Structure 1
Amino acid sequence: MNAKARAYVALMKLRVVELLLITTVPAMMLAKRGMPSVWLIVVTLVAGTLSAGSANTINCYVDRDIDQVMGRTRKRPLVRATVTPTEALVFGILLGIVSTLMFGLLVNWPSALLSLGAISFYVFVYTLGLKRRTPSNIVIGGAAGCFPVLIGWSAVTGSLSWSAALLFAIVFFWTPPHFWALAMKFRDDYAAAGIPMLPVVASPETVTRRILFYAYGMVAVSLVLAPVAHTGWFYLASAIAVGGWFLVEAHRIVRRTARGEDPRAMHLFHMSITYLTLLFTAIAIVAVV
């Protein structure tokens, strides 16, 4: 793969996309109460990857000025001028068009509209509207990352339900603890770029208390899913176990911060990924057993 092709792939931020797709297939399986066809899974994942890649690419186009200021983003293609801003914007728009048509023609149009809505929300609400203006940016804007569960559910059923809404809510409450932990680590980067992430504008004590608040919300919603979606004892036990594990660490980060110690924010960040993976694995298991 030549440098240009690698740059286009990098614009899509596929490592971030992997996390989104972790939630898509279990949502499809729960909606089906079994295993959907391999064809439907593959098309949904490919179209979903292109959709998320579209949003990420356009995000790189909009944020190219701050990416060159932040240490962790200085190697992105637009900063290194591997591709031009126009090329990146055209690529992002084309990805969005292809993904929308794939969903509409090969899956169903409700999923296509949800996919287009996710792209639009991420670009216009989060990137252009909130990111540079308010510390609540990731709370509201992070909802874009919750759309994959809705898309997965809709791909199977052609509609949504209360169970799908609860899956959405789990990811919604999960996003702030996940992202704020990362932002605590890279606080100086965001401050240098003028981005008012919560760790930039609030004290560490305030940030960790907010993390704990959303962690409790996340676990509470995950437990409500059990009776609503009739997931049975295995999922409920799994949700209690992994939720309790996450809450213990969330309390620890609050205590470390209060004592003036290293909060070990990245430990919580990596734990959040493991938590979401384990929880949605449990959902997938109960859907097929």
Structure 2
Amino acid sequence: MSDATVSGMGGAQAPLDASMTPPLDTSEVRDWITLLKPRVLTLVVFTGVIGLLVAPGHIHPVLALTAILCITIAAGAAGAINMWYDRDIDAVMRRTEKRPIPAGRIAAESALAYGVLLAVGSVALMGLATNWLAAGVLAGSIGFYVFIYTMWLKRRTPQNIVIGGAAGAFPPLIGWVAVTGSIDALPLVLFAMIFMWTPPHFWALSLWAHQDYKRAGVPMLPVIAGARETRRQVVIYTILLVPLTLAPWWMGFNTAAYGVLATALGANFLRHAWLVWRDEQDATGVSLTGDLPAKRCFKYSIYYLFLLFGALALDRLVLA
């Protein structure tokens, strides 16, 4: 008697043929991960880890990992809520039109619930695992990104990136406070460094993505003030940033080795910014070379922040 006959008569189920088992569909899992903006998370988590590593005092490794997890989840939660709110403009921008919500793969309400749940959970866990000041700063970072940047500034002013840059500057401060339970001068300097780094980083991006922002009605600086003014601002903010990165050395937190490396990295950033300004342009400031210098400046700015914060931690932990 065959397995099929036994199964039909109420007997034991026949074993399934492994070749007939449908493959696991991971596309939906990828969509939920995409809502967290994983590319952005990398830099956020890295700077948070640096803040935690260089903070004075001691934290149990398990609690340190928990704090990092909370920073990761909180940043992802803010990204998910941002995607929920910006679903209308994401649908008309080429670089975002395939995101899960505008593409119809995830319902907007589900994305919002997902983001809120992760946000509340990350803050609560941070408070229980480390201290409630760290939880408060973490909550503030989420609130700033969602309410100040996403809902208020982004669609209203070309200064959205300047003021909104504070949202991405919180992680090293959060990591520091998770260890020490206090807000001190050095983490505020680290906060300021990321704050000043954000405008040239994003304006370099906006120079070669300005048509997307214009189509969506987002008042990014190139759309409102023009490409030439944006190029000038990239140079100005980079000039202001480089001396600020030397502050940890001047404060005695780091050694001259960090100062030398920060100067070299900053000089290269200034070179990229200058090339953005000197790029061959038409009368309106629009690049005649496809904004290749702006693309290179944007990419370098990412490596720059990784190397700068990595050097700060390595110098502090090994040499200082």
Counterpart mapping for 1:165-180 below 5 A: 165-180=188-203
Match of 2:78, as an amino acid?
A
Q: Deviation per CA, 1:221-277, whole angstroms, max 9, x where unpaired?
A: 111221225201111111111011111111111111567543421100000011101
Counterpart pick for 2:216 among 193, 197, 200? 193
Q: Is the 8 A contact 2:253 2:316 kept in 1?
A: no
Q: Which residue of 1 aligns with 2:308?
A: 279
Q: Does 2:187 match 1:158?
A: no
Q: Deviation per CA, 1:53-101, whole angstroms, max 9, x where unpaired?
A: 1100000000000000000001111011111111011000000011001
Residue aligned with 1:72, SS: coil
Counterpart mapping for 1:203-242 below 5 A: 203-242=226-265
CA distance in 2, matches of 1:145, 1:32: 23
* Structure 1 vs Structure 2 CA RMSD: 1.5
Q: Is the 8 A contact 1:101 1:112 kept in 2?
A: yes
Q: Does 2:94 match 1:78?
A: no
Counterpart pick for 1:117 among 140, 144, 159? 140
Residue aligned with 2:100, SS: coil
- Give 1:185 shift: 1.2
CA distance in 2, matches of 1:11, 1:245: 33
Q: Which residue of 2 aligns with 1:288?
A: 317
My pick for the range that moved more, 41-50 or 268-277, is: 41-50
Identity of aligned residues (%): 42
Counterpart pick for 1:42 among 46, 54, 65? 65
Distance 1:44 1:212, change over 3 A: same
- Give 1:203 shift: 2.2
Q: Which residue of 2 aligns with 1:61?
A: 84
CA distance in 1, matches of 2:32, 2:244: 37
Residue aligned with 1:73, SS: coil
Match of 1:159, as an amino acid?
S
My pick for the range that moved more, 22-31 or 84-93, is: 22-31
Distance 1:110 1:229, change over 3 A: farther
Gaps of 5+ in 2: 1-24
CA distance in 1, matches of 2:280, 2:146: 34
Match of 1:44, as an amino acid?
A
Q: Is the 8 A contact 2:255 2:316 kept in 1?
A: no
CA distance in 1, matches of 2:192, 2:231: 20
Residue aligned with 2:55, SS: helix
Distance 1:257 1:212, change over 3 A: farther
Q: Does 2:32 match 1:3?
A: no
Q: Is the 8 A contact 1:208 1:257 kept in 2?
A: no
CA distance in 1, matches of 2:177, 2:123: 14
Gaps of 5+ in 1: none
Match of 2:262, as an amino acid?
A
Q: Does 2:121 match 1:98?
A: yes
Q: Which residue of 2 aligns with 1:30?
A: 54
Q: Is the 8 A contact 1:174 1:214 kept in 2?
A: yes
* Superposition TM-score, scaled by structure 1 size: 0.95
Match of 1:151, as an amino acid?
I
Structure with higher Rg: it is: 2
Counterpart pick for 2:39 among 3, 15, 25? 15
* Superposition TM-score, scaled by structure 2 size: 0.86
CA distance in 1, matches of 2:200, 2:276: 11
Residue aligned with 1:186, SS: helix
Distance 1:3 1:54, change over 3 A: same
Q: Which residue of 2 aligns with 1:89?
A: 112
Aligned residues: 288
**Structure having greater relative contact order (Cα 8 Å, sep ≥ 6):** 1
Q: Which residue of 2 aligns with 1:254?
A: 277
